Amino acid sequence: MPVCNKCPTTAPVAIHTPSGDILHSTHEADLDVPGLPPSARHGHIIPNLATQPLLSIGQLCDTGCDVAFTASTVTIHHNNNIILQGSRTPASKLWELDIQPPAPAHANTAIGSASPADLVAFAHAALFSPALSTLEDALRHGHLPAFAGLTLDTLHRYPPVSAASIKGHLDQQQQNVRSTRPPPSPNPAADLCNALPTTTDTAALPNSTERTHHCYAAILSPTGQTHMDLTSQFPTTSSRYILVVYDYDSNGILVAPLKNRCAEVILEAYKLIHTRLCTAGLCPQLQRLDNEASQALQDYLTTENVDYQLIPPHVHHRNAAK
């Protein structure tokens, strides 16, 4: 673009590109565009920005310019005079201003860019938060598709650190304080000798060099235990809430979307899951509920001859659906 008053910068600015690269400015200059206020003409020169220059619409508006966008055109006014005009390109979907020479400028309508640490954290969460060593091996061997900003270098510089949560673990009793198990024997070797056969027949003693496989079959009665949890509100509104039911016997996780947390909506969703379990021959006998279970749901469980228990608040490990 035509510029004047070009000089090396003493405070370079940084631009974060969608690919994760960081570009720095080397000079400052003023646009040689008559009619623009002096504060609206000041800009930064970035040599590595090798495509087309970008105009800050916010900077123009802050200096008193009026910018009008339509589906196909853009017009910049100052003091009721048209300063710049342009049209929208079908390929890039951006508005290009007619500034010559050497090339038209793309109007950037306040597009924010994430930092490299944010890009790495987003990619890590999108991959279901794997171990950093696993993620590093996958990147090194090229097993991952291209994630914006996620490379071996950025992973080493900005490793994502998840905030540790201690909720539900501070108000519980410490283990082995009042244990009901018998204390261990002070002399386990003597107990082992007493358990060996007392016969002197060496053929009855097991051969330590012989390997055997002991197989058995057992019939286990179904417990009929199910656990239920209602999630918090999701940031994306495709489904506000989700009802999660865990069946212990089948190790199955069943979910149903909810549009709100009303008792009637929760009850209808639970009826669908309950019917599905009964159809599969897994009739619930004991349902563990959150402490916020509605009376309508409790009445329905009573009607279906299903016992239920309410989990105390903040005791997450008592509810397998958590």
pLDDT band of residue 90 (cuts 50, 70, 90) is confident
Query: 187 lies in a domain?
Result: no
Query: 101 lies in a domain?
Result: yes
Average pLDDT, the chain: 80
Same domain, 89 and 134: no
Same domain, 92 and 125: no
Q: What is the pLDDT of residue 110?
A: 41
Same domain, 145 and 79: no
The tens digit of pLDDT for each residue in 47-81 reads 877 667 788 888 888 888 899 999 888 888 888 88
Q: Which residue did the predictor score with more confidence, 282 or 168?
A: 282
Q: State how far the Cα of 7 lies from the Cα of 34, in Å rounded to an integer.
A: 20
Same domain, 150 and 80: no
Q: Give the Cβ contact number of residue 42 at 10 Å.
A: 15
Give the residue-averaged pLDDT of 127-144: 89
Query: 32 lies in a domain?
Result: yes
Q: What is the pLDDT of residue 293?
A: 82
Find out whether 276 and 305 touch, Cβ atoms under 8 Å.
Answer: no
Pick from 212, 211, 242: nearest CA to 228: 242
How far apart, in Å, are the Cα atoms of 105 and each of 14, 31, 55, 84?
Answer: 19, 12, 7, 11
Q: Which residues pair with 289 in a beta bridge?
A: 310
Query: 202 lies in a domain?
Result: no
Query: 89 lies in a domain?
Result: yes
Same domain, 72 and 129: no
Q: Which residue did the predictor score with more confidence, 238 or 123?
A: 123
Same domain, 73 and 148: no
Whether the pLDDT of residue 159 is over 60: the answer is: yes
Task: Identify the domain boundary among 81, 108, 135.
Answer: 108
Q: State how far the Cα of 318 lies from the Cα of 307, in Å rounded to an integer.
A: 16
Query: 133 lies in a domain?
Result: yes
Q: What φ, ψ does residue 107 adopt, rounded to 5°?
A: -85, 120
Q: What is the pLDDT of residue 111?
A: 44
Same domain, 129 and 42: no
Pick from 268, 291, 277: nearest CA to 246: 277
Percentage of the chain modeled with pLDDT above 90: 15
Task: Identify the domain boundary among 80, 108, 136.
Answer: 108
Give the residue-averaged pLDDT of 16-29: 82
Q: Which residue did the predictor score with more confidence, 229 or 177?
A: 229
Q: What is the pLDDT of residue 254?
A: 93
User: Which one-letter amino acid corresponds to residue 46?
Assistant: I
Same domain, 7 and 102: yes
- At 256, is the secondary structure helix, strand, or coil? strand
Q: Lay out the sheet containing 225-230: strands in order across.
A: 252-258, 241-247, 225-230, 286-289, 307-310
User: Which one-letter amino acid corresponds to residue 117?
Assistant: A
If one counts the domains in the chain, the total is 3
User: Which one-letter amino acid corresponds to residue 98?
Assistant: D
pLDDT band of residue 183 (cuts 50, 70, 90) is confident
And the tokens for 241? 């809430």
Q: What is the pLDDT of residue 161?
A: 82
Q: What is the largest CA-CA distance in the chain?
A: 115
Same domain, 11 and 97: yes
Same domain, 150 and 77: no
* Residue where the block lists tokens 């058995």: 216
pLDDT band of residue 246 (cuts 50, 70, 90) is very high
The tens digit of pLDDT for each residue in 193-230 reads 565 555 555 555 555 567 777 777 878 788 889 998 88
Q: What is the pLDDT of residue 233?
A: 72
Give the domain CATH number at 282. Answer: 3.30.420.10
Query: 213 lies in a domain?
Result: no
Whether the pLDDT of residue 108 is over 70: the answer is: no
Instruction: Name 268's Cβ contacts closer than 8 Å, sequence gap at least 6.
Output: none
Task: Identify the domain boundary among 157, 189, 217.
Answer: 157
Q: What is the pLDDT of residue 268?
A: 92
Structural domain of residue 44, as residue ranges? 3-108
Query: 245 lies in a domain?
Result: yes
The pTM score is 0.37
Same domain, 303 and 235: yes
Whether the pLDDT of residue 314 is over 60: the answer is: yes
pLDDT band of residue 276 (cuts 50, 70, 90) is very high
Cα 101 versus chain centre, distance? 46
Same domain, 74 and 103: yes
